[in-house]
C-alpha cells in the first residue's frame, strides 16, 4: 500500500493533564491510520478522551509524545503561524460547542475562513451560499449565533468547517444537539461528501453506535486506549 493512501497517521501518541498534584493520563500509546476516502467514527464514553484526541488531530493542541502526520504534514513542523495556516487550508473543525463568533452574522461566520485563505469574494460567496443552503440555513444568513437554536448553530458550524474544502473534516459530536431528522440530514451530507470528495476524509465523534455504524470504520476509546470497533 502506498503511503499516499493514508491521509492521517498517528503513532505512539500520549497526552496527560496535570491539575495540581493530580496527573490524568487521558490518551496512551495511540495508533491510528485513516485512508483517503474514509469516513471514520470515534466512539467512547463521556470523559474517555475523544475531544482531546480530536484537538490533537486538528493541531489545536500538541501531544506529549508521538507523531501525528496529516494531509502530508508532520505536525512537529507546525509552529505558531504555520499551524494557523495549516488548519485554515487543510482542516475543517466542527466544535462540540460550535465556537461561532457571537458578534458576526451566520453569513460572516461561514465566510471568515475563506477570507483568511484569500479566496476571492465572488467564489467564497457562491460557496457559502451553497453550503448554507445544504445545511438548511439559507433564510438565516443575517442572524447572529445567539439568535439561532443549538441545532442551527451546529449546522452553521458545519458549513463554516467545509468552506475551504478541507482535506480532513473533524467533527466533534456533530449530531449531538440535533433532533433525529436534522441529524439524518447531517449524516446524508457526510455520505455525499465522502462520495463527491474521495481524496478527503471525515473523522466524526459520536457516542451513538447506530450513527457510528453509518461510517466506514469505527474506533473506540476506553481508558485512554484506542482500539478498532
Ligand atoms: N484542558 C484540560 N485540563 C485538564 N483536564 C482536561 C482538559 N481537557 C480535558 N480534560 C480531562 O480529560 C478527560 C477527557 O476529556 P475529553 O477529551 O473532553 O473527553 P470526551 O470528549 O471523551 O468526553 C476528562 O476527564 C477531562 O476532565
Ligand atoms: Mg467531548
For the chain, give the number of residues. 229
d(CA 161, CA 112): 10
d(CA 189, CA 26): 31
Minimum-distance ligand 1 atom for the alpha carbon of 55: 17
Burial (CB count <10 Å: 0-12, 13-18, 19+), residue 202: buried
> Is the pLDDT score of 3 beyond 70?
no
Enumerate the domain spans of the chain.
38-63+79-228
Whether residue 175 has its Cβ less than 6 Å from ligand 1: no
Give the tens place of pLDDT for each residue, 41-96: 999 999 999 999 999 999 999 999 999 999 999 999 999 899 999 999 999 999 99
pTM for the predicted model, two decimal places: 0.95
Residue 181's pLDDT is what? 85
Under DSSP, is residue 165 helix (H, G, I), strand (E, B) or coil?
Answer: coil
Count of H-run helices and E-run strands, the chain: 7, 10
Inter-residue contact 70 to 8 (CB < 8 Å): yes
Which among 14, 26, 208, 224 is the best mutation to test ligand 1's pocket, defined by most ligand atoms within 8 Å of the CB?
26
Whether residue 179 has its Cβ less than 6 Å from ligand 1: no
Q: Identify the residue whose cell numbers are 471514520.
A: 40
Mean residue pLDDT across the chain: 94
d(CA 54, CA 203): 8
* Mean pLDDT of all residues in 177-191: 88
> Is the pLDDT score of 215 beyond 90?
yes
Residue 47's pLDDT is what? 93
Q: Whose CA is nearest to atom 14 of ligand 1?
A: 49
**CA quadruple 116, 118, 120, 125: dihedral, nearest 10:** -20
Confidence of residue 176 (pLDDT cuts 50, 70, 90): confident
Q: Give me the CATH topology for the region 38-63+79-228.
A: Rossmann fold (3.40.50)
* Mean pLDDT of all residues in 188-198: 93
Inter-residue contact 169 to 40 (CB < 8 Å): no
* Mean pLDDT of all residues in 36-40: 97
Confidence of residue 186 (pLDDT cuts 50, 70, 90): confident
Q: Whose CA is nearest to atom 18 of ligand 1?
A: 51
| DSSP-assigned beta bridge partners for residue 74 | 69
Q: Which residues contact 210 (CB under 8 A, 6 or more apart)?
A: none
* Mean pLDDT of all residues in 187-197: 93
pLDDT exceeding 90 applies to what percent of the chain? 86
Whether residue 224 has its Cβ less than 6 Å from ligand 1: no
Whether residue 50 has its Cβ less than 6 Å from ligand 1: yes
Give the tens place of pLDDT for each residue, 131-168: 999 999 999 999 999 999 988 999 999 999 999 999 99
Residue 42's pLDDT is what? 98
Amino acid at each position: 500500500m502506498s503511503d499516499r493512501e493514508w491521509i492521517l497517521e498517528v503513532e505512539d501518541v500520549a497526552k496527560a493533564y496535570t491539575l495540581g498534584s493530580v496527573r490524568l493520563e487521558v490518551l496512551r500509546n495511540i495508533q491510528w491510520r485513516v485512508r483517503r476516502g474514509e469516513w471514520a467514527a470515534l466512539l467512547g464514553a463521556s470523559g474517555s478522551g475523544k475531544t482531546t484526541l480530536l484537538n490533537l488531530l486538528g493541531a489545536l493542541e500538541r501531544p506529549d509524545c508521538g507523531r501525528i502526520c496529516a494531509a502530508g504534514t508532520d505536525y512537529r513542523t507546525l509552529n505558531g503561524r504555520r499551524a494557523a495556516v495549516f488548519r485554515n487550508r487543510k482542516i475543517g473543525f466542527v466544535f462540540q460547542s460550535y465556537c461561532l463568533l457571537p458578534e458576526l452574522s451566520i453569513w460572516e461566520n461561514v465566510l471568515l475562513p475563506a477570507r483568511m485563505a484569500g479566496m476571492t469574494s465572488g467564489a467564497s460567496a457562491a460557496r457559502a451560499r451553497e453550503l448554507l443552503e445544504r445545511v438548511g440555513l439559507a433564510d438565516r444568513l443575517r442572524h447572529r449565533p445567539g439568535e439561532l437554536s443549538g441545532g442551527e448553530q451546529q449546522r452553521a458550524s458545519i458549513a463554516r468547517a467545509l468552506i475551504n474544502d478541507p482535506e480532513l473534516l473533524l467533527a466533534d459530536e456533530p449530531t449531538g444537539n440535533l433532533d433525529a431528522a436534522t441529524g439524518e440530514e447531517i449524516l446524508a451530507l457526510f455520505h455525499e461528501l465522502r462520495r463527491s470528495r474521495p481524496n478527503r476524509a471525515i473523522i466524526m465523534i459520536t457516542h451513538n453506535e447506530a450513527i457510528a455504524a453509518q461510517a466506514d470504520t469505527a474506533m473506540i476509546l476506553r481508558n485512554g486506549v484506542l482500539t478498532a470497533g
